[in-house]
Amino acid sequence: MTIKITGTGSALPEKIVTNFDLEKLVETSDEWIQKRTGIAERRISDGETVSTLAADACRKALEMAGKSAEDVDLILVATCSPELLLPCCACQVQELIGASGAAAFDLNAACSGFLFALNTAYAYLHSGICQNVLVVGSEVLSKLVDWKDRGTCILFGDGAGAAFVEASAEDIVRSNGRRAGLECMVQGSDGAKGMVLSCAERAVNNAFTAVRQTDSPYIHMDGQEVYKFATKQVPACIQEALDKADLAADDVDWFLLHQANVRIIESVAKRLKVDIARFPMNIHRIGNMSSATIPVLLDEQNRSGSIREGDRLVLSGFGAGLTYGASILVW
């Protein structure tokens, strides 16, 4: 059996917000932001929603895979910023793209969400429950950002990325001898550090109890703690996946990491002793889109022709929870 990605897609809001635009909102500068994060601009919703962005990305992934919405058995949407608590975003996407025969549900592992969803898709496909799965990461974080907090408002953007993942009975071997498909997955969580990156929900308020909301409804982040976690846990997670697959870092062609901060990506490359040129980045023009960063980057690399058949990829990221994960696959 081969379980592989056969189509990718992405969707970004049209509105571009530059660092110079943010200079008008908070005490910051383009130089300060770029030096500390690598971000020059980001896309911000001007009406696009988590579900509409996700649906657009799904349509593109289906087109590339040569499939129709009727072929989809399951839709998994990773998001931490849905418009509605009910119904879930995945059901909204199902309706928007016309996948009437598909089951659909959301999952939330924040910036690690796409990886967790991809691993979930693998389980459904490997068990034979499904044959075709749409895996999506979609966010509109701009509604969760305190635009007066320069520590967070400079980081985040909106967008969606999708992958069409399918199972086939035969083993597909590429010309370089590598077997196509997902090779290895590692994921984990550290709830003890959960509150270093948080966003409050509604407080208890019913006919019998009322708890005063004490937390801000916006994203709160202890940047130093998140940085320390990421620079330690991400390379460790990648190494665990490599060891599990009996591979070395030199066996990997591309490392597609969560686009949170250019310094984190550079630190991971250094710890793994891998040339930074093998870590493609788009953070400078898109920013941190949480669960959407990895699938958007994957789609861009795929459509540009940078990724070729037989290439081995590592997808890895971290996020609120705290969560982390890594997947190894051959294109």
Task: Give the residue numbers annotated as catalytic, written as ranges.
Answer: 111, 258, 288
Q: Which of 186, 73, 90 is nearest to 127 (CA)?
A: 73
- Cis peptide bond N-terminal to 297, omega within 30: no
Find where tokens 């089951």 sit.
103
Determine contact, residues 104/93, Cβ cutoff 8 Å. Answer: yes
User: In Å, how far from its chain's centre is CA 325?
Assistant: 11
- Structure tokens of 1? 């059996």
C-beta separation of 243 from 252 below 8 A: no
Instruction: Tell me 179's DSSP state.
Output: B
Please give the C-alpha separations between residue 315 and each of 15, 146, 184, 231, 291, in angstroms, as whole numbers.
28, 30, 11, 15, 12
Inter-residue contact 14 to 58 (CB < 8 Å) = no
The span from the CA of 187 to the CA of 326, in Å, is 6
